[in-house]
Amino acid sequence: MAKLLVPKPISGGLLLSYKCNSECKHCMYACSPKCRANWISLDDAGRVLTQLHAAFEHSYPARTSRLGLNFGLHFTGGEPFLNFRLLLSLVKIAHKIGFPSTFVETNCFWCSDDKETEEKLVQLKNAGLHGVLVSVNPFIFEYVPFEKTLRAINIGRKVFGENVMVYQDFFYQQFRSLKIKGTLSFQDYVHKAGVRSLRFVELIPMGRACYELGHLFVKRPAEAFVSESCLDELTRPWHVHVDNYCNYMTGYCGGISLGDARNLDQICQGIKLDDYPIIAMLTSDNGIGKLLQFSVDEYNYKELKDGYVSKCHLCLDMRKHIVEQTSEFRELKSEEFYRNI
Ligand code: SF4
Ligand code: SF4
C-alpha cells in the first residue's frame, strides 16, 4: 500500500482553540468569535507536546532560548489569551517537558491595563515561557486598538527583553509614524496609508484571505493550477500546527489533517494513502487537477466564474464544497475550520 513519507517536524505551534476575539480578513485558520471555545484538554496537550518535543529535539543546535518564527514551539490559536489559565498551564507543561524555545503569539486584545499586562507576562515568564510574538498588521488593526499593541510591545520588552518579536515590524513603525489610535477599518487604513503600503503585507493567499481579500489579487481560471502538486507543502517539517482536536497540519494548510498528533510518531512512519484519498491526490503529480476532476465527477463541483487567486483558493473551495456534502474524508478536519471559513 502506498504511503506518504511525513518527515519529523522541526518547529511548530499548538492552537489552544479556533476561538478569537477578531475575525481577520487574512486568517489562514478561519478563527473567529463565532468559533466554539473547545479548548485543548491538558491531557491531549501533554501527549501532543511530548511527541512534538521528541520530534523537534534533533533540530536544536544546542540548548538555547533563541526565538524565531520557525524555531521551537509556539502557543497560538485563535487567541491564546482568551484562556489565560490554560495558556499558563500549557507553558508549565512545555517547560517541564524541556522545550528550549517557546513563545506565545497574540493580537494583544487583552492589554487594556499596564499592571495587568505586566502581571500576566511575568506569570508566563516565571512559568518558563521564553518570549512573545506580537501581531501587527492592518487586519488585526480592524479589531484591536493600536494602543493595546504598543502596551504589549513596551511591557513585553520590559519582561522578556529582546525576546519580543513584532510581526510585522513595518506596520508597527508605520502605525506609530501615522500616530494612529484606536481601530481602523481596512478600507480606511488603505485610504490613510495609501494602497502602496499593501506591498509590504506578507499575505499568503490561503484560508479566509482567498474570499475576503480576493480583490487584491489577480484571479485565474482553475485550468491555471491543475498541473500543481502539494507534496512539498504537505510534507514541510517547519512551522507545523496542531489544533485543539489534535489534527496535525503542515504547510499552513488549514483544514487538512495528516492524522492525530497524539500519535505523531506513527504519522512520521508514513500515512497510508488509501486512508487519505484527498491527500493522495494533492501530493501526486497534477494533484490539483486530480482533485478538481474528483470534485466535479463525484460532488458536482462548479468552478467559480471569477476564477481563483491561488491554487490554495481552488483547493479550499473544492474541499469546502466536499465537506458540505460528506464527512467521510478523515483528512478534511477540523469541522470548525470549514464552518467558519
Ligand atoms: S489572524 Fe490571529 S488575530 Fe486574526 S482572527 Fe486569526 S487568530 Fe485571530
Ligand atoms: S493547494 Fe491545498 S494542499 Fe496545496 S498548499 Fe494550498 S491549501 Fe495546501
Tell me the DSSP string of 99-129: -S-EEEEE--TT---HHHHHHHHHHHHHTT-
pLDDT at position 70, please? Answer: 87
CA of 235 to the centre of ligand 2 (A): 11
Which residues are within 8 A (CB) of 72 and not within 5 positions of it... i.e. 6 or more apart? 11, 56, 60, 99, 100, 101, 102, 103, 130
> Do 106 and 140 touch, CB atoms closer than 8 A?
no
pLDDT at position 121, please? Answer: 98
Alpha carbons within 13 angstroms on the beta-carbon side of residue 161 total 6
CA of 254 to the centre of ligand 2 (A): 9
Residue 184 dihedral angles phi and psi, to the nearest 5°? -150, 135
Alpha carbons within 13 angstroms on the beta-carbon side of residue 285 total 0
User: To test the ligand 1 pocket, which listed residue (16, 17, 25, 27) has its Cβ within 8 A of the most ligand atoms?
Assistant: 27
Closest residue to atom 4 of ligand 2, CA basis: 230
Residue 38 has pLDDT above 60, yes or no: yes
Alpha-helical segments (H) within the chain: 42-56, 84-97, 114-126, 146-160, 169-177, 186-193, 209-212, 231-234, 264-267, 277-282, 287-299, 311-323, 335-340
Residue 132 has pLDDT above 80, yes or no: yes
Cα distances from 105 to residues 60, 73, 78, 221, in angstroms, run 21, 11, 10, 36
Residue 194 dihedral angles phi and psi, to the nearest 5°? 95, 140
Where exactly are the structural domains of the chain? 3-214+232-270
User: To test the ligand 1 pocket, which listed residue (14, 17, 21, 22) has its Cβ within 8 A of the most ligand atoms?
Assistant: 22
Q: What is the pLDDT of residues 316-330, one digit of tens each?
A: 999 999 999 999 999
Cα distances from 103 to residues 134, 135, 154, 264, 300, in angstroms, run 10, 13, 17, 22, 44
Cell of 9: 517536524
Given the DSSP bridges, would you call strands 11-15 and 240-242 parallel, antiparallel or unpaired?
parallel
Q: What is the pLDDT of residues 219-243, one digit of tens each?
A: 999 999 999 999 999 999 999 999 9
* 135 alpha carbon, closest ligand: 1
> Do 222 and 243 touch, CB atoms closer than 8 A?
no
Q: Rounded mean pLDDT of the chain?
A: 96
Ligand 1 neighbours, Cβ below 6 Å, are 20, 22-24, 27, 31, 77-79, 107, 140
Angle value at C-alpha 158, between 155 and 161, nearest 5 degrees: 120
Q: What is the pLDDT of residues 192-205, one digit of tens each?
A: 999 888 888 888 99
* 309 alpha carbon, closest ligand: 2
pLDDT at position 140, please? Answer: 96
pLDDT at position 68, please? Answer: 85
Closest residue to atom 8 of ligand 2, CA basis: 253
> Do 15 and 276 touch, CB atoms closer than 8 A?
no
Q: What is the pLDDT of residues 41-70, one digit of tens each?
A: 999 999 999 999 999 987 776 555 568 888
CA of 111 to the centre of ligand 1 (A): 16
The CATH classification number of 3-214+232-270 equals 3.20.20
Beta bridge partners of 32: 19
CA of 71 to the centre of ligand 2 (A): 22
